[in-house]
Structure 1
Amino acid sequence: MKNKAVVLGANYYIGLSTIRCLGVHDVHVAAVDYSWDGAYGLESKYCSEALIGPHYKEDPEGLLSFLIDYSKRQDHTPVLIPTADPYVEFVDAYLPELREHFLIPQKEQGLYTKIMDKGTLHTLASQHGVAVPETVNVYQENFVEKVEEMMDYPCLVKPVDSPAFVSKFRRKLFKVYNKEELIEKVNLAKESNIEVIVQRIIPGFDDHMYTFDAYLNQDSKVTHWVTCQKLRQFPINYGASVYTQQKHVPELYELGAKFLEGIGYKGFAEIEFKKDAQTGRYYLIEINVRITNLNHLLYKTGINIPWITYRELIGEPLDPKAVEEDKNMVFWYAYEDLLAVREYIKTGQLSIKQVITSYFRPKAPAIWDPKDPKPAMAFGKKMFGLVKGKVIKRS
């Protein structure tokens, strides 16, 4: 392959999976991170070049120059793939400049950010006939009364900009049980200059969470897709996938494809839906516009998103494909799943028997790969260091 692939982010398993999905097809992968420390994806045998550049938040202009300088040294235009939300925000902010030197699916600057923003996303969804949970803007007058009129407690205080919220509070949202907690958490967010909204909780356990994962070509048409069902997440109830199965749900295609094609989206996107346990209706919760946590599961079921992206951008698109059967395979991020299982059992949401029974299935591990073991070893070393540090700190 003449065109190199530049993967942004190597300190998490999403970046690692992206590197592997391209490397197995002999693509020259240049992985970029801001530090060697903890960037276990750089240890992959499929990583052709390990590049340490400026930090996306501390020096975005420096990172832009770093990437452009790299591209100028290449004989063919590289494909650029961000694997974390902050990198997506960076790409969106400098999309015109980056598109002069890289192959990138999206052409419309601001669309990535608009979709990641919960407020504008809900407006878009409503315009295209997709249900979203009842939502209240905390900056409107008498917002507390509005919340109590539209929904019951408990309810959710959610960020408009998820990366900033997670960076500050180390969680995805606040769950509040009364008026006092609602006001407290909203004020806490305001003090940190983080915009939030209040949202109704859609009834149903974590296995009522589903995903529609799709790739849209440059004509904004879905060419590849698969649907999945979450079984466990961490933090429990309102976290990221840690144990998720591929599950064919045709209705999600009808909802998801119509919406993404309607807004003129290009490239990969993952829509998270929650199925109302009382009504059976699917509600759009959020959209990930970077490679998903479940990427290795999608690959194992026959949908290699990084490779699909790469091939289309170099002008050699793959034939359309959808996974329209249940393959009985699960994605497993063992480290956080074990933490989640402890909490599920502790809170009585799952029994030990239910957990043990769930493990007897073919798995797509987040990190471990017998053909590429070094990243898992580096991850283990990182975890050992963290545990050792905590023990020393306590003693």
Structure 2
Amino acid sequence: MKFSDASTPVVVLRGVESASHGALGILRSLGRLGIPVHLVACDSQTPGFFSRYCKGRLVCNVESGNAGKSVEVLLELGRKIGRKSILIPTDDNAVLFVADHAAALREQFLFPQMCPELIREVSSKKGMYYLAKEHGVPTPEAAFPTSRQDVLDFISRAKFPVMLKAIYGSQLMKISGQKMFIVRTEAELLEKYDALEDPAHPNLMIQEYIPGGDDTVWMFDGYFNDRSECLLAFTGKKIRQYPVSQGSTSLGICLESEAVRETTTEFMKKIGYKGILDIGYRYDARDGLYKVLDINPRIGSSFRLFVAENGMDVARALYLDLTGRQVIPGTAREGRKWVVEDQDLVSCLRYHQQGKLTFKQWLDSFRGVEEAGYYASDDLAPCFTRVMALFGQAFKKLNPLGA
């Protein structure tokens, strides 16, 4: 794939909570077309900074709390670049930051017209739940306790196991290192609620548990224009997750699901969504429905799993649409696989320990892998940087006093 005009720069805004391979994927996807791509990140050692496709680097945490200063830092970067650039945030907080300060940021940047209220609603699991119910989209049943008594009331009618999740996942991740828990008993639910909830600012939800393995989790990856028309749509499913059974994709496959595609495009049209979308579903074999689990109003870290035969992906679709050109969707590369090397290695070991993955199954699972999160033959430095960082982390764990 080639673009007739690749002169409009891009600024990737890597949020604190986003995976480093997501930003790296954007750098490579657009940089390989000759597009000048700049990266803003809070970590000076993020692998993307070492990519041959990274035109400019800026260490800045736009989520640090001083929004006015962050806006000015980005505007100054835009002025230095010398022309309006496309701004691509990579996590929910960064998307909200852009939506909240859109009027000021538009002086130097191009991005989809996002409604801050809608972004907040869909990025909150509580808001997403009620939005799905309102529009007739299947979703697991859920309760949103605001006190311990609410949890006790729920227990009186509950069927275990259940899922304990955060309405805003990043907050639970900071406290526990996990986004969710499978809870199997009443006592365990009360114990975790007492340990993890802040009564002054309730953030936990209890969700129906849908039985099934990782391969029942489906994904939609797409792009919607300023009329909420879907210009590009892909579907696929997870093969493995990190952390095991409750995390992000460590190995995924691009597969067609008409039900997931149609449900998502109709849903987003109804709510007036614009921009790149990453959304997850779980197939419920009990009733044959695909039930929405979460909506990410942004580019997903696994977006490079989804590539058309003509080379189109959601980052490229965004670029074409915002520069006034036609998006030619192309046919999805059915069976294409994508892997995050370090995360999948850890997951494979866990699955093997649980008796869910044999050596032969492990080898067979890599057939069809076309791309990795960090390794690329034309861009080796980010992978090397990631490996060295992992060695450093391992050394600190083994030698806590010498670190």
Q: List alignment gaps of at least 5 residues for structure 2.
A: 1-5
Matches within 5 A, 1:231-242: 231-242=239-250
Instruction: Tell me the CA shift for residue 374 of structure 1.
Output: 0.9
Q: Scaled by the length of structure 1, what TM-score is found?
A: 0.93
SS class of match (2:400): helix
Does the 8 Å contact 1:2/1:76 carry over to 2?
A: no
**What is the one-letter code of the residue matched to 1:98?**
L
Aligned to 1:2: 7
Q: With structure 2 as the length reference, what TM-score do the two structures score?
A: 0.91
Change (3 A) 1:358 1:183: same
CA contact (8 A) 1:4 1:27 kept: yes
Task: State how far apart, in whole Å, the 2-side matches of 1:99 and 1:184 are.
Answer: 47
Number of the residue aligned with 1:166: 173
**Per-residue displacement from partner, 1:2-59 (whole Å, max 9, x unpaired)?**
32111012870000001111111111111111231x3110111111111122452244
Q: Which residue of 2 aligns with 1:152?
A: 159
Which letter does structure 2 place at the counterpart of 1:296? R
Matched, 1:213 2:218: no
Cα contact 2:223–2:231 (8 A) shared by 1: yes
State the AA in 2 paired with 1:344.
Y
Which residue, out of 28, 31, 37, partners 2:36?
A: 28
In the other structure, the counterpart of 1:99 is 106
| 256-265 or 137-146, which deviates more | 137-146
Quick one: which amino acid aligns to residue 363 of structure 2? I
Q: C-alpha distance in 2, partners of 1:81/1:348?
A: 41
Q: How does 1:1-395 map to 2 (within 5 A)?
A: 1-9=6-14, 12-36=20-44, 38-139=45-146, 142-148=149-155, 151-191=158-198, 193=201, 195-299=203-307, 302-323=311-332, 327-393=334-400
Which has the higher mean CA deviation after the structures are superposed, 220-229 or 25-34?
25-34
Alpha-carbon deviation of 1:378? 1.0
Q: 1:394 to 1:245 in 2, by over 3 A?
A: farther
How big is the shift at 1:167? Answer: 2.1
Distance 1:92 1:290 in 2: 11
- Aligned 8 A contact 1:137 1:198 in 2: yes
SS of 2:93's partner is helix
Task: Check whether the contact 2:240–2:250 (CA below 8 A) recurs between aligned residues.
Answer: yes
Give the C-alpha shift of residue 211 in structure 1: 0.5
Shift of 1:297: 1.7
Q: Distance in 1 between matches of 2:396 and 2:258?
A: 48
Q: Is the 8 A contact 1:164 1:194 kept in 2?
A: no
Letter in 2 for 1:360: R
Moved more, 369-378 or 167-176: 167-176
Which SS does the other structure have where 1:344 is aligned?
helix
Alignment-mate amino acid for residue 92 of structure 2: D
Q: Give the letter aligned to residue 40 of structure 2.
A: V
**Residues of 2 paired with 1:351 and 1:18: CA distance?**
34
Q: Which amino acid aligns with 1:92?
A: A
Amino acid at match of 2:384: M
Counterpart amino acid of residue 18 in structure 1: I
Confirm or deny: 8 A CA contact 1:95 1:109 kept in the other structure: no
Cα distance in structure 2, aligned partners of 1:211 and 1:327: 14
Amino acid at match of 1:290: R
Please give the alpha-carbon distance, in whole angstroms, between the structure 2 residues aligned to 1:43 and 1:150.
54
List per-residue Cα deviations over 1:36-91 (Å, max 9, x = no partner): 1x311011111111112245224433221100122234443111001123322322
Deviations along 1:223-259, whole A, 9 cap, x unmatched?
Answer: 1011011111011111110011011111111111111
* Cα distance in structure 1, aligned partners of 2:84 and 2:247: 37
Which residue pairs with 2:3 in the alignment? none
Contact between 1:213 and 1:269, CA under 8 Å: does it hold in 2? Answer: yes
Shift of 1:355: 2.1
The answer to whether the Cα contact below 8 Å between 2:167 and 2:203 also exists between their aligned partners in 1 is yes
Verify the 8 A CA contact 1:160 1:196 in the aligned structure 2.
yes
Deviations 1:265-290 (A, max 9, x none): 01111110000132221100001222
CA contact (8 A) 2:224 2:232 kept: yes
Q: Is the 2:253–2:338 contact (alpha carbons within 8 Å) kept by the matching residues of 1? A: yes
Relative to structure 2, which stretch is displaced further, 118-127 or 170-179? 170-179
**Could you tell me how far apart the structure 1 residues matched to 2:133 and 2:153 are?**
19
1: CA distance between counterparts of 2:172 and 2:52? 34
Amino acid at match of 2:21: Y
CA contact (8 A) 2:221 2:314 kept: no
SS at match of 1:238: coil
SS in structure 1 at match of 2:374: coil
Q: CA deviation at 1:146?
A: 4.7
SS at match of 2:109: coil
Residues of 2 paired with 1:75 and 1:393: CA distance? 47
Q: Which amino acid aligns with 1:305?
A: V
Q: CA RMSD in A?
A: 2.1
Which deviations, in whole Å up to 9, do the C-alpha atoms of 1:79-131 show, x marking residues without a partner? 10011233223223323322343111133222222111001111111111111
2:239–2:252 contact (8 Å) kept in structure 1: yes
User: 1:150 and 1:119 mapped to 2: Cα distance?
Assistant: 20
